[in-house]
Amino acid sequence: MAGGGGKAKPLEFTPTWIVASVCSVIVIISLLFERLLHRLGKRLMRSRKKPLYEALLKVKEELMLLGFISLLLTVFQGPMGKLCVSPGTMHHLLPCKPPPHKTDHLGGAVFTGVMGGARRLLAGGASSDEYCLKKGKVPLLSSEAIHQLHIFIFVLAVTHFVLSAITVLLGIAQTRNWRHWEAKIQENDGGAPKMIKHVQEFKFIQDHFKGHRKRSRIFGWMRSFFKQFYGSVTGEDYTTMRLGFIMKHCKGTPKFNFYSYMIRALEFDFKKVVGISWYLWAMLMIFLLLNVQGWYVYIWITLVPFIMLLVVGSKMEHIITELAYEVAQKHTAIRGDLVVAPSDDFFWFHRPKLVLLLIHVVLFQNAFEIAFFFWLLVTYGFKSCIMGKPTYVITRIVISVICQLLCGYSTLPLYAIVSHMGTSFKKTIFDDNVTEGLVNWAEKARRRTRNPNKITTEPIDEANGGAVQMTNTHANSSVEQGTARLL
């Protein structure tokens, strides 16, 4: 066994310097990656980017999950290789049409689509596959298929994280231009006399309402569809929606920095987008199940997120149009600035958060398509049967790239501002110190609600502007419960 030069040697007959060298390289790479994440986290905390730091923690959780999946695949590779089935079981739902006279290797074709002559990447893989072949059967899942499945899941998770980060960075870079609009508004002292103007004189109304007394819904949706490709948010849009938000939620602070709040909220939402939730894993299983030869499922997997993204962008633009339409219908002339009225009624099912969920699904499906393409390209080559026809492959990649760029430069900036046109506001409206103080206060409010007869003299954190004594629980219960629900 030790002297067999043509056979793979187990660990007990491998030179120690090889084992130590390989383990050292793996440990060094792992430590460097861990230190990189650690320093990145410290830098985010020093920069007071707590939402991004929480997103980094989410990435670490995903990496831990992937490590556990990797461990399970490695541990159960041997037992799964000894689960034998009849060759006829492998003739259904194949991703590729099997070549003739090669049916004895269909066990590895369930996922990989490559039959016969498969190379064994792990030493125990060949023996586990031969265990079933000696019985005239095939393994339920070959060692090579398990290994490639392992690699694919890792590539998918990394691709999803990288593409999500790129999309959010593109969106933030696009919204950087809005900082100048915010600075210009802050510099304006607002001392000019408030004149009465006809509602059609406002540029925001002219851009969206066009002065029509009756608006065609089809025309409005068509205009919203095309506007997402150019100038999705103009200076007039930003100014008007900013004022509408302030008049709805912070009427006493006209100098509220809406841009900073919007960026904080976008960073907070990033930690939700970067994660892979259970329903995304379920979608992955469905995609793998439907990858059957002749069904062309991956064409639909490419088109569906692209269509969803176009629908979401059109809806965001249409909400801006609805805001202008509502003002134009209610008023003939307005004194001072134009003020819109944010409301959850403009959103699907009155839920602004649903838009973020759809963007999350779109980014995952797009990441799946891109990861699957590169994994197939490296593993099997461009002309493999599982890759599909070259024309379809090129079309899918072009659509995926367009989808990614459109999401970063148009849809995400639209979401960043339009998502705040709902009835409520997000807790990122406060800075970190105030938020922490309100969270503590809300927690104390919950405890006092459970014990209504208890009289307390607990001060609020100084971050909320001073120590305020709460001595009467009944008198403040409604305010406390409202704050608790908000946080």
Task: Identify the pLDDT of residue 439.
Answer: 61
Once rounded to an integer, what is the mean pLDDT over residues 456-481?
A: 39
Rg (CA), the chain: 29
Task: Identify the pLDDT of residue 432.
Answer: 53
Task: Identify the pLDDT of residue 430.
Answer: 62
Task: Identify the pLDDT of residue 164.
Answer: 81
Q: What is the pLDDT of residues 366-401, one digit of tens each?
A: 888 888 888 888 888 777 777 777 888 888 889 989
pLDDT interval class at 481 (50, 70, 90):
very low
Once rounded to an integer, what is the mean pLDDT over residues 228-255?
A: 84
Once rounded to an integer, what is the mean pLDDT over residues 108-134?
A: 49
Least confident of 83-92, 151-160, 214-223: 214-223
Q: What is the pLDDT of residues 135-147, one digit of tens each?
A: 778 777 777 777 7
Q: What is the pLDDT of residues 440-463, one digit of tens each?
A: 666 777 777 777 665 444 444 443
For residues 99 and 116, the answer to whether their CB atoms sit within 8 Å is yes
Once rounded to an integer, what is the mean pLDDT over residues 107-122?
A: 38
Task: Identify the pLDDT of residue 311.
Answer: 93
Angle at 371 between CA 365 and CA 377, to 5 degrees: 135
Q: Model pTM?
A: 0.73
DSSP string spanning 311-323?
A: HHHHHHHHHHHHH
Once rounded to an integer, what is the mean pLDDT over residues 43-70?
A: 76
3-class SS at 335? Answer: strand
Dist. CA 266–CA 174, nearest whole Å: 12
Tokens linked to 226: 């095309």
Least confident of 35-39, 401-405, 448-452: 448-452
